[in-house]
A and B are shown apart, each in its own frame.
Chain A
Amino acid sequence: MGRLSRRVDSTIMASNYEFDDAPANYDDVQRQGGQDTVYDPNFVPDSVKSFVVHMYRHIREKNVYEIHQMCETSFQTLSERLFKDTPWPSVEAIAPFVDNDHVFCLLYREMWFRHLYARLSPTLKQRIDSYDNYCSLFQVVLHGVVNMQLPNQWLWDMVDEFVYQFQSFCQYRAKMKNKTEQEIALLKQNEKAWNVYGVLNFLQALVEKSTIIQILEQEKEGLEQFTATDGYDYSGGSNVLKVLAISPERKFSRCDTFDRYVDAVREFNKILLYIYKTKQYHQKSPQYEQLLKKNEQMYALLAVCLSLCPQTKLVDESVNSQLREKYGEKTLRMQRYDDEAFGIYDELFSYACPKFITPSAPSFEEPLVNYNQLLTFLTRTSQDAYRLQLKMFLYEVKQQQLLSGVRTFLKVYSSISLAKLANYMEVDEPTLRTILLTYKHKTHSVDSDGRIISNADIDFYINNDMIYVVESKPAKHYGDFFLRQIAKLEGVINDMDRVKLE
């Protein structure tokens, strides 16, 4: 059904599709799906039609799990089968099947470009168009009334891809010598495309708006945590971790309490579990090495967090056993809080902490700008900032040391006079009062609405000179658990219904 076509129309996907080393004759271009054809952007195989129709329906019906499956599995399968070396059909070709829905088309185009970057080499025009598509898409996500709910994985894949395409663009632009005059002109006309300030703006806005922040907040309130098996996993590759590095002050310093470490432990557990389960599938990915390195670094950080804030129930057994293997001995030594312990904290933190760069270095006007310079611009690293991080971190560790002493005593007494406790802790009373105030400060954070939230498992109050200890039991949130199980069951029943009809 397809045809040799050298269209000159304005459809970007048709007229600009080409290989970087494109042979002069389009006839020599690869075959599509076994047929003796070349790429026709308007040809929509039935399986693709079915794919977009279903995807569109799932998005409208907010079947997050199904959307996730289609992204992860169906899209990849179809790409492998039908579009090994060609782009997917143009968005104009599939639009009629999805009511010409504007947002769906933006999402489809995003996937279209992602596929292009993965399998083929984008032209300059395509790079620019992809950036424009991201602009439109992010505008919708950030400011529009988005009547849909997308899987976190997809959102993070998009951000990941966005960052990757930015890096790719920087690399591309750096190689100025083999640019045609046309290309140089096009670059000059489109200075905003992949402009670093624009990119950073979007990333900043997305990280703030993303459900990751929401999830962290939800978890703070003790709601059931999502696990990788539900398809709600939000772990990302190294690019996403770089994104997180842009706003680490938000993420990791938002509350100066135990809570921060508990959050971190939960998050590391999820990510490490996800990597553990899916490592084999990523082996072909160009980022596999980086992924392995990140994996090791995260174990180091997890060890640090658990030493500062021991938690037994938050870490999966498979993660725990790996942790024991890698850092069992060091964990024990860190918990002693002596000089050697600080040495280990220093060592692990230096090894594992995301590298931050002060972004004020390179000039982007120079065509021979180095790819690494731009990468560092994005991820913010410098000797300065790193030392600062380390200093702040070790300061934090010292605070925890102080407080861990108090907790030990609070666990043992139901009430105790200030004088007696001061005696046991070998400090004077005024100092003890300040320690107790510190404990309260560290275990109570302020949320975005200005409400105070307690994260203390052991708490107390003071009546003049007497301390009364309060133990809090973690709240069990059955309601949310049941809601999710109901929704899941409904999903299963729907699946079964579909089977019957087919």
Chain B
Amino acid sequence: AAAGLCPCRALLARRGGALRALCGSVRGLAVGPETHFGFQTVTEAERREKIYHVFESVAKKYDVMNDSMTLGIHRVWKDILLHKMNPSPGTLLLDVAGGTGDIAFRFINYVRSAQERQLQRKLKHHQNLSWREISESYQEDKFKSLGDSQVVVCDINKEMLKVGKQKAQHLGYSEGLSWVLGNAEELPFDDDKFDVYTIAFGIRNVTRIDLALQEAYRVLKPGGRFLCLEFSHVSNPLLSRLYDLYSFQVIPVLGEVIAGDWKSYQYLVESIRRFPPQEELKAMIEDAGFFKVDYQNLNSGIVAIHSGFKL
């Protein structure tokens, strides 16, 4: 397809300003029935492959880039997601497209501190036990710091998982954590397995979002919760313009300077614009069978957390 496009491109490049109009009208033609004239219309398979390559190449600099692009604010967004989830010890979490482990590590921290608080409360209440009760407590099972909570990190990209595993080792996370290579559109898990399903900044890269949502429904237990953290649409016009300016002018430059990769970050900002806005995503989640679907905007809609329950 690319070879066929090149002469068109070269041809178009030699014309000057009338180009814009030409591109605009041609775009209108291409959206309907399939056409190869001018654009790079890609098939689903091609899209999956291209996205795989994007994440393969950005994996090593993924975290650095996230911090640079969002000025560290992505950490706050992820913290808010965890607070909304409010997992209690014993929760089984599936984090899809969880690559470098940000959500998984936060989950472990959250559950660990919840468990510690629970333990402290327990100790406070049990100050005046009888000797028999004390001897019985010695026979209890060894105290688990995570309290049976577990998180499974699933990602389609080997490089991202590799970076995640290295991070886990470096930061000292080992208990209650497992890494699985898998596709959100076809998860390698049984039905009704997980208490919570999260997908943070991943669903945008899924080619068939409807399939991913169906799979999420399938693997969640009844009563389980679906949580999606993703870039969304800003309705405020002034903020929207500033956001666009920043996205299109600064982010690809950051990608080139920090990661040596302009194109991947150009893809990123464009994929954000392509993604369905809040209400549309809500409708899609409802279509998959979830109830009580709702969303919460963060930073005026730059990011949104969608939530739904399998009842």
Q: Do A and B bind each other?
A: no
